[in-house]
Amino acid sequence: MEEILQPSRWRQRRWIVLACLVLFIPFCYGVIDLWDNHAWNEYRQNYEAHVAPMKLQAYIPKPIPDDENFAATPFVQAWFTRRNDQKLLFEIDTYAKATKMMGNSASRKFTDLVAWQEAFAAVASGAGTPKGGFRTEQRDPASRAQAAPDVLDGLKDDNDALEELRTASARPGIRYPIAYNLTNPWNILLPHLGQIKQACLRLQLKACAELALGQNEKALADVKLMLYLADTSKPEPFFISYLVRVVCLHIAIVPIWEGLAEHRWTDAQLQQLQTRLESYNFPADIQLSLHAERGFHMILVDMLQKNGLGLATNFFDFKTSKSWALYKPPLSWLGRVAPSGWYDLEKLHYCQGDDRKYIGTMDAVTKRVSPRQVAANALEWKSRTNGLWNAFTHHRIIATLLLSSPNRLPKQTAAAQTDTDQAAVACALERYRLANNQFPDNLQSLVPRFAAQLPNDVITGEPFKYRLADDGRFVLYSVGWNEKDDGGVPGKPMFDENEGDWVW
């Protein structure tokens, strides 16, 4: 009898054990969800109470009536409504054809108007491009003045469009017709950014040709329009919008520099430029994109939770790797069966990593950027994102995939702030020269008549390095990204991150 009952008792115990397992798994899921959700909500609430909103919706620019909106002009609207087979003006104008024929040009040299003259003539005649492109060393005032009318004639394709932009810039508001897809923000299209840059490049060449002809007021109007166009992307919550704005600002600085180098600007014109340049604070402006980026990535985590971790193989550098295609099915399954608390923990670790990534690198109040702190944060970031296995076991998959090294943005922010600050100081120096027939012995002589307050070097927090040259001109520079005073000797590129000073 006992032998007959034993299998039955075993079966009963087996069912009891199975029932316990079935109940234990939901219990574990519940505990995980409770703990991780509590940790995430505590962080999120504290961040939103003391720092900034977390949701992307908070950073979307408000609608503006068409009659008040710069972007409601037909030329700008066409950037967003064109068909795939439709070419825009800046893709087919004479400038677009001529620029493909131009050779490389060194930074902080006068625009090679003679080469542009030759390129425009080649486009008109159908001639070919010489080896190395059109490039000359004829940058003296007489040669550039002689070439300038032909350069302006070569830009006439764009005159109506640029005037339309100029007229629209008088409107009080700006909001491009971007379709903000909050379900999948990676599908948001930004066709206007490339067009803004292209408009600035044409205005840059136009302003430089006008300066060569002594047409200061026209050049000033074009510089103002460039600065305006650059700032039209300022309200947008995208890193790429910020970076395009920085590029356009560097483009606008070129004719300002040329006008200063040849003493073309009047005191009144210099005051207008100086006031505009002194208003820039790029360490403050980057904060919008830094905060909004979290909103983008929190949406991505929600997408991964809904669709499975296999969705991650569609993003990032490994999206074309065949080996990663093998991982997509198991990752998708794992993502769907994982507790929701795991995703909350991923969000928490991503945000905490993002906090550490930029901490101490940029100061909006003092307009400072610290290359030393950027390097230290980059080392810590590298140690925390060392391999996907480490990321998986420490719930840092999202942080590993999405947190890039903190090197790029601070460096470009420092370069933009340096360019605008040095341009503002150079305007004040030129105003001093106009009043006194010579440059001052030191920068402090500019205060308070020619500058209410002098900007400091964004790298050191100390005044810019300045000295008079033997030819009566001056040398003005920042110590640059290497934080070393190289005596005003620049690196190879304009804002070299390895060697040399950042020289005006």
Q: What is the 3-state secondary structure (H, E, C) of 400-449?
A: HHHCCCCCHHHHHHHHHHHHHHHHHHHHHHHHHHHHHCCCCCCHHHHCCC
Residues 318, 216: one domain?
A: no
- Of 240, 265, 290, the residue that ends a domain is 265
pLDDT at 319: 44
Domain boundary among 265, 291, 320: 265
pLDDT digits (tens, 9 = 90+) for 323-367: 555 556 666 656 665 667 778 888 888 888 888 888 999 999 999
Asked if residue 406 is part of any domain, the answer here is: yes
pLDDT digit string, tens, across residues 426-475: 999 999 999 999 999 999 999 999 999 999 999 999 999 999 998 889 99
Tokens, residue 136: 């000359």
Pair of tokens at residue 258: 């040329």
pLDDT at 5: 45
Domain count, the chain: 2
The answer to whether residue 386 sits within a structural domain is yes
pLDDT digits (tens, 9 = 90+) for 129-160: 888 899 999 999 999 999 999 999 999 999 99
B/e letters for 370-396, b = 16+ CB within 10 Å, e = fewer, are bbebbeebbeebeebbeeeeebeeebb
Residue 409 β-bridge partners: none
Torsion-angle region of residue 102: left (phi > 0), alpha (psi -120 to 50) or beta?
beta
Domain that holds residue 422: 36-60+266-504
The mean per-residue pLDDT over the stretch 189-202 comes to 97
Q: Is 22 a domain residue?
A: no
Q: How many helices (H) and strands (E) does the chain have?
A: 18, 5
CA–CA distance, 306 with 30 (Å, rounded to integer) = 18
- Could you tell me if 230 and 340 lie in one domain? no
Do 240 and 316 lie in one domain? The reply is: no
Q: What is the DSSP letter of 72?
A: G
Model-wide pTM > 0.85 = yes
Mark whether 274 and 389 lie in a shared domain. yes
366-382 pLDDT, tens digit per residue, is 999 999 999 998 888 77
What Rg value do the Cα atoms of the chain yield, rounded?
A: 29
- Highest mean pLDDT of the ranges 60-64, 80-84, 267-271, 327-331: 267-271
Whole-angstrom Cα distance, residue 225 to residue 216?
14
Residues 273 and 389 grouped into a single domain = yes
Exposure b/e, 446-468, CB count within 10 A at least 16 = b? beeebbeebbbbbbbeeebbbee
Same structural domain for residues 275 and 381?
Answer: yes
Q: Which of 237, 265, 293 is the last residue of a domain?
A: 265
Query: pLDDT of 88-107, one tens digit each?
Result: 999 999 999 999 999 776 56
Residue 62 has pLDDT above 70, yes or no: yes
List CB contacts of 135: < 8 A, sequence separation 6 or more.
102, 103, 104, 105, 112, 115
Which two structure tokens, joined as six digits, stand for 466? 């300045």
What is the pLDDT, as a whole number, of residue 185? 83
Can you tell me the distance from the alpha carbon of 446 to that of 208, in angstroms, rounded to the nearest whole number? 27
Calculate mean pLDDT across residues 254-267. 97
Residues 118 and 221 in one domain: yes
- Same-domain check for residues 271 and 372: yes
pLDDT value of position 406: 72
Question: Do 54 and 81 lie in a common domain?
Answer: no
- State whether 273 and 358 are in the same domain: yes
Average pLDDT over residues 183-194: 90
379 and 496 co-located in one domain: yes
Among the residue ranges 164-168, 245-249, 315-319, the one predicted with the least confidence is 315-319
Answer whether residue 8 is part of any domain.
no
Quote the mean pLDDT of the chain.
87
Q: Are 56 and 144 in the same domain?
A: no
Domain presence at residue 2: no
Tens of pLDDT, residue by residue over 382-423, are 776 666 556 666 666 677 766 677 778 999 999 999 999 999
